[in-house]
Amino acid sequence: MPQFTYRARDAQGALVEGVLDCADRSIAIRQIEQKRCIPIRIEIVTARPERDEKSQSVAATAPTQALKIPHNQLLIFTEQLAHLLQAGMTLDEGLSILQKRLKQPRVQEMTRALHQALVDGRSFSQALREMPRIFPPLFVNLVAAGEASGALPEILHRLVKHLMQAKDLRDRVQQALIYPAFLAVAGAALITIFITYMVPQLTGFMAQIGGALPLPTRILMQIHHGIITYWWLAILIVIGVSVGFRAFVRSEEGRLTWDRFRLKIPGYGRVIRHRYYAQFSRTLGTLIQNGIPLLRALDLVSEIAGNRYLELKVTEARRAVVDGATLSAALSAQHIFPDLFTDMMAVGEQTGRFGETMQTIADVYERELDRNVAIISQLIPPVIIVVIALIVGLVVYSILSAVFEATHSLQFRPH
């Protein structure tokens, strides 16, 4: 019976090596997994090693701290690695195959660095932690939980599902706002053309025929004169306001004030809140279902808030949980989640199905978010059209009133 040497990680993350007597390689993998270990490398004793570790040590010398890849490439990498591990391959083999299969240069560089980290004796989660611009803390902690529980392929599949749901949620919001944004830009361009092109034509015409101009026409001509003469001042004001705003939000108090104000903006604030409710519950449920302790999970969900005010509120709720309060009661005291949210969370805590309940809450608020985004995206275009029509109508009225006044004065002018 052939012998296989193996290298694996146990539930505590320690490196384990040994020799197994097995009929084939798949049986060796199953025996290692039965010991609640993650196999990294398995080689038959009589076979020639496929790789030279010394040559690999030299291969991955490029710095990876600043490496960054697109989000869709990260999804592809994670999903394919999960499939390879579930098919019975080790991490060492899976990363080697992906390094050849994935053609994007940065992904190849990332995969090569991860593979080299395994060869050097680091765990997979430790290797991921060395690339913070690619793998967020949520990703790294879930992988660490998978290594500890011996269920890394299943956790990678769940992680792919979570990342795809988060991406789908973000894409739905962005796509719903594309048409209103296009209308706003087109309307601004149309108004600019009217004021900068039609008004000079009107000025030349009125200079030829003379006569007093109506009040709307004089106002329009003053606006045109201000745009032509003081355009540079407008640019300076815009730059000054932009720089001042950025300096304001960089300060802790300024960022807190701005993030709190954003949540109260009619329509927009509701979308932000419901998006956070869905993201918070989906992420927290995924973490709990994969064995992450509650306090550590709260640290991670506070980091993904993207809103300083919400982050501080969740941090305060975490302190209350440390003091012995339930999470639903702690969040209810912060007044950042609706009663329905905390009531459903309390049911999950009482029934012992907290992770599943959080996923259900995420479904509820994703549907609510879709409904709010649909309503807002349907209301914005008519509002923009009405505003554009009013401004264009005022411009046209100013022009036509001048023409009518000039025509009227010509009728009574002596030949």
% the chain with pLDDT above 90: 15
- Residue 50's Cβ-side half-sphere holds a number of Cα atoms within 13 Å equal to 8
pLDDT at 49 over 50: no
Highest average pLDDT, of 129-138, 142-151, 159-168, comes from: 129-138
Torsion sign (Cα): 359, 357, 374, 260 = negative
Q: Is 9 left (phi over 0), alpha (psi -120 to 50) or beta?
A: beta
What the chain holds in terms of domains, given with CATH numbers, is 3-172 (1.20.81.30), 177-415 (1.20.81.30)
Q: Is 52 left (phi over 0), alpha (psi -120 to 50) or beta?
A: beta
Q: Using DSSP, state whether 16 is helix, strand or coil.
A: strand
Torsion sign (Cα): 92, 95, 98, 102 = negative
C-alpha to C-alpha distance for 160 and 155, rounded to whole angstroms: 9
More confident residue, 333 or 231: 333
pLDDT band at 120 (very low <50, low <70, confident <90, very high): confident
- Residue 339's Cβ-side half-sphere holds a number of Cα atoms within 13 Å equal to 0
% the chain with pLDDT above 70: 87
Residue 113 token pair: 């660095």
Q: What phi and psi, each to the nearest 5 degrees, are found at residue 89? A: -85, 160
pLDDT at 47 over 60: no
C-alpha to C-alpha distance for 146 and 160, rounded to whole angstroms: 14
How many degrees, rounded to 5, is the angle at CA 276 between CA 347 and CA 257? 120
C-alpha to C-alpha distance for 218 and 141, rounded to whole angstroms: 66
